[in-house]
Amino acid sequence: MKRIVRAEEDGISLLALLKNKLKLSTRTIKVLKYRSGGLKVNGEEVTVRRVLRAGDTVELAVEDREEERAESVVPRKLPIKILYRDASITVCNKPPKMPTHPSHGHLDDTLANALAFLAAAKGIPFVFRPVNRLDSDTSGIVLTANDRISAGRMFTAMKNGEIKKTYIAIVCGVPEPMRGVVDAPIARADVGILMRTVSAEGREARTEYNTAAVSPDGKYSMVVLRPLTGRTHQIRVHMSYIGCPLVGDFLYGERSELIDRHALHAARMTFSHPEDGRSITVSAPLPDDMLALYEKLIRSSDDE
């Protein structure tokens, strides 16, 4: 990456340029400091204390290197749909029942494996940098960064609540009121390491929801949700907390014979591009299993 120092930047330190102008994360700056050839000004290796002058050429060795490739991510050709892709970011529509990243028992069937395959086909060293993560059973949009700088900027945007996400869920019952915000802190439950619960000792958690459709018998509804914070299992916990657990949610509700996962889909995401700041909105249609569930539980009831 090359950058010419502008007239208004004359006299600032390289560190100030990296942090305040280029918005690099502390982690990225640390990598550049200790990488051979990581920081150069006018072709000369420098430290972050270097005072810059207008017209100087700053070079940053931010590219992924072969030795940084995640060896555990095995390239595999898997069925994923790319919703948007450029040099900085990739946005995928993750199918249900696919983990986001490798773990014990899932070393070659994840979104990371699928993206590694696409990178390998182009001969590009692959480093998996998911900006958001979805449970294996949650389908929909996953945003990943293709380089170190974009990752730092997108992680900061996520932390600051600047990435807007919209989910669709099919739930048991009807929320009361039908539109509102669940404001209830979430903490790790006493049992196991996976389950979460609403607790006064938990971290702030808020979920905005709007009931989009209800079956005439009042047994099921489709709800549009926008998490305003980012806690583990937030939507699942909050919907269960207000008495409307997701259909098929074995952890916070009950299993269902109608769908073999919890009925939750990440349907829409809006964010600013890490390079030029333009607003990008991507959408992912409901997958077949949730569409069939909607047809059976809600639309079919409407027709009766």
pTM of the model: 0.83
Query: Is residue 23 located within the same domain as residue 108?
Result: no
pLDDT value at 191 more than 80: no
pLDDT value at 290 more than 70: yes
The verdict on whether 183 is a catalytic residue reads no
Q: What percentage of the chain exceeds 70 in pLDDT?
A: 95
Contacts 24+ apart (CB under 8 A), 297-304: 297/170, 297/215, 297/219, 297/220, 297/247, 297/258, 298/170, 298/213, 298/214, 298/215, 298/220, 298/221, 298/222, 299/213, 301/215, 301/216, 301/217, 301/220, 302/213, 302/215, 302/216, 304/216
Which of 56, 135, 147, 289 is catalytic? The answer is 135
Query: Is residue 169 located within the same domain as residue 284?
Result: yes
Report the CATH number at residue 35: 3.10.290
Give the end of a domain, one of 122, 156, 190: 156
Query: Is residue 93 located within the same domain as residue 51?
Result: no
The pLDDT tens digits for 61-117 are: 877 655 455 456 889 999 899 999 998 999 999 999 999 988 877 888 999 999 999
Could you tell me the pLDDT band of residue 304, with boundaries at 50, 70 and 90?
Answer: very low
Report the CATH number at residue 74: 3.30.2350.10
